[in-house]
Structure 1
Amino acid sequence: MLSWLVPLCTVGGAVVGWLCAPLASSYFEQPIRAARPGIAVTTAAASGALAWRFSGRADLPAYLYLAVVGALLAFIDVAVKRLPDPFTLPSYLVGLALLSGAALLGGHPMRLAHALTGLAVLWALYALQHFFAPGAIGWGDVKLSGVLGLYLGWLGAQAWWLGTLAGFVLGGLYAAGALITRRASRKSEIPFGPFMLAGALVGILAG
């Protein structure tokens, strides 16, 4: 493990998160300065954890990219209950390009096949849920699921299952708590993107 990578990526994540926060500004009803520190801290924490997990590996850049775009999406979804296409759709191409490079450099071409399988299966799972319960799973969640499936699939079946299950558990616990405390009703729209991203992080770190 390259111990210097963790503090470097943590500080770098904070800087990148701070600089990229304005990209989300058009989606916020409040001034971006109110969310900017939160985005920077979230990106820093995720980047540091991922540097610890992937230190010295060719796939670290791919996961650092996910940390940045994931932080932006999480804050946007909490604020306005949207997962905008300009963040999710390019992430398919960027993630695939970075992981393809990692497969070539690391000599693990089968990992790319696993990643693509994870993408397709998780996208299909969320698409089915959206079809039968569009009020619970939005189309933005479906688009994000493919990106997360790509990254989880790269790490294998255990990480994929753990990351997928963790997202549903975290979202379900939050929804149950909101109902119990009467901060939400059964008809309330709850942003699911942050829980999908948090669950994916659990799968990535522990899978």
Structure 2
Amino acid sequence: MLDGVLGTALAAAAVLAALAAGYGPVSTIAVAACALAAPALTRIDVSVRRLPNPITLPLLVLGLASALWQLAVGNWAGPVAALAITLLLFVMSLAGGMGMGDVKLTGALALAVAEIAWMPLTGLVASFVSAGLVGIVALIRGRRRLPFGPFLVAGFAAALALQLFR
């Protein structure tokens, strides 16, 4: 139940942020869906180190719909950047650097925010920086692995919030 309450609050905030940033309807829906799923994805990834397909795949489909809409209206930079980022993480997953759930979530988040061209890269950088900082502390404490999903959610949320101050 808490996931639903938090997700609803985050989705409402994400809709307001997306609209304030000038996002169109398809991107706003994709951003809101990602925010709605964020608490559940975070809890699940922290608990069992998995990002389940029944949640990540619909988000990825919404992200792709958002990207297709952007391409249809002539906005190529953001969707191309989001796809490149997703491909990069896919290659990293093949090398064992992360799981496919992280790749799918990255794709969903990057494609959802791709209406503004620099947002996919900003979200990814914020995700890696936050994971790196926490990872250093975790290594000092003897932990070897961290779930990356919570950092993806936080990084892309931070990127969306930063867009409000441009």
* TM-score bucket (shorter structure): 0.7 to 0.9
C-alpha RMSD of the superposition: 2.5
1:185 is matched with which residue? 143
CA distance in 2, matches of 1:131, 1:99: 25
The one-letter amino acid of 1:68's match is L
Alpha carbons of structure 1 residues 130 and 99: separation in structure 2 relative to 1, 3 Å: closer
Distance in structure 2 (CA, Å) of the matches to 1:76 and 1:44: 19
Q: Which runs of 4+ in 1 moved over 6 A?
A: none
- Farther off after superposition, 136-145 or 76-85: 136-145
Runs of at least 5 residues in structure 1 that lack an aligned partner in the other structure: 1-35
Secondary structure, aligned partner of 2:89? helix
Secondary structure class of the residue paired with 2:114: helix
Deviations 1:3-47 (A, max 9, x none): xxxxxxxxxxxxxxxxxxxxxxxxxxxxxxxxx325522541453
SS in structure 1 of the partner of residue 92 of structure 2: helix
Q: What is the identity percentage for the equivalent residue pairs of Structure 1 and Structure 2?
A: 32
Shift of 1:69: 2.1
Q: Distance in 2 between matches of 1:57 and 1:143?
A: 22
Q: Structure 2: where are the runs of 5+ without partners?
A: none
TM-score scaled by length of structure 2:
0.80
Match of 2:113 in 1: 152
2:123 aligns with 163
Distance 1:137 1:99, change over 3 A: closer
Whose radius of gyration is greater, 1 or 2? 1
Aligned-partner Cα distance in 1 for 2:117–2:135: 29
Q: Residue 40 in 1 paired to residue 5 in 2?
A: yes
- Name the CA shift for 1:127/1:152 in 2 (closer, same or farther; >3 Å): same
Q: Cα deviations across residues 106-134 of structure 1 (Å, max 9, x unaligned)?
A: xx8123x33431332011111122223x1
Instruction: State the structure with bigger RCO (CA 8 A, min sep 6), 1 or 2.
Output: 2
